[in-house]
Structure 1
Amino acid sequence: MRLSNLLKPENIIFHSLAATQEEVFREIAGQAEQEGITKKPKRIVKGLKEREKQSTTGFQDAIAIPHTKSKEVKQPAIIIVTTKQGVEWNSMDSRPATFFIALLIPEKEEGDTHLKILSSLSRMLMEEKNRTQLLKAPDEKALHAFLTEKVDLQKEGL
């Protein structure tokens, strides 16, 4: 599986006005509904909230990776939201987040697919130069190109 199968350029939302975690989740779920990834966006919001209660998905350097597994998700997908203002996320580095990489995984694919995508993204994000480049991407096209080049799902056996 290639990252380009999961992340479509139209699923990158630059400069969202979302100011709270709830608003970011609603933005993600609304995009998922618009793109046919789900027919029940409220269930996606609920799943993202429930996952966040388990432990923070806030990474570092203003990046968070919220994710959910749900029978309401039709196919695995990644939706990215960026905000100009920081959103309190209880991140590992205690800084607000502005860059959200959401993983939406069908319940029937939980486990392997979910963990392998998360592992590949996390490995790429461990390098400071990658985090910096990600945060400085000028537009959706550049961001999509960068991620499809840097995230290697085939290494994970997907």
Structure 2
Amino acid sequence: MEIREILSEESVILDLKSTTKEGIIQELVDKLYDKGSITSKSKFIKALNHREKMGSTSIGYQMAMPHGKTKYVKKASVVIGKSREGVDWPGIDGLPVKLVIMFAMPQSEGKEDIMLISKIAYILGGKDISERLLSAHTKKEIVGVFYEA
């Protein structure tokens, strides 16, 4: 599975409204639901919260990658949201998170989901990429950063 298969401009929210981690998660889950990627918002949020309890999904450079794998996901999807102000999301650098990349993965026996998330995390692990994403002003620019990487 490649990022191009699950990420499009429709998957991006340029101006998240919420000022809390929980609110940001809700906005992105709403987007997944509206896209038809998940069947239950509450059950998917429960999966996300379960993952967060294992350890923060903040990856540094003002980014976080929350993800859930559950039977309530119909198809592998990703949504991306930008917050102008940033939100408190405990992480390794202590900075507010301004870019959230959320993955929804269907329950399966395979490891494709872990491989994709690992690949994206590796791509995002550099300051140059985070700066490009944080300075992007359009959905096309954000998606383009992922397509180029």
Smaller-chain TM-score range? Answer: over 0.9
Letter in 1 for 2:82: T
After TM superposition, list the pairs within 5 Å mapping 1:1-158 onto structure 2: 1-108=1-108, 112-150=111-149
Structure 2 unmatched runs, 5+? none
Distance in 2 between the 1:86 and 1:34 partners? 24
Q: CA deviation at 1:45?
A: 1.3
**Partner secondary structure for residue 100 of structure 1:** strand
Which residue is 1:156 aligned to? none
The runs of at least 4 consecutive aligned structure 1 residues that moved more than 2 Å come to none
Are the equivalent residues in 1 in contact too, given 2:59–2:125 (CA < 8 A)? no
Per-residue CA deviations over 1:11-69 (Å, capped at 9, x if unaligned) read 10011111111111111111111000012111111111111111000111210000010
Length, aligned pairs only: 149
Pairwise CA RMSD of aligned residues? 1.2
| TM-score, L = length of structure 1 | 0.89
Q: Give 1:114 deviation, angstroms.
A: 2.0
User: Matches of 2:26 and 2:126 in 1, distance apart?
Assistant: 29
Residues 82-139 of structure 1: CA distance to partner in whole angstroms, max 9, x if unpaired? 1111111101111110100001100115x61221112111211122211111111111
**Could you tell me how far apart the structure 2 residues matched to 1:130 and 1:59 are?**
13
C-alpha distance in 1 between matches for 2:46 and 2:8: 23
Which amino acid letter does the alignment assign opposite residue 29 of structure 2? A
Distance 2:39 2:117 in 1: 24
Distance of 1:20 and 1:113 partners within structure 2 = 31
Mind listing any 5+ residue stretches in structure 1 that lack a counterpart?
Answer: 151-158
> Residue 84 of structure 2: SS of its match in structure 1?
strand
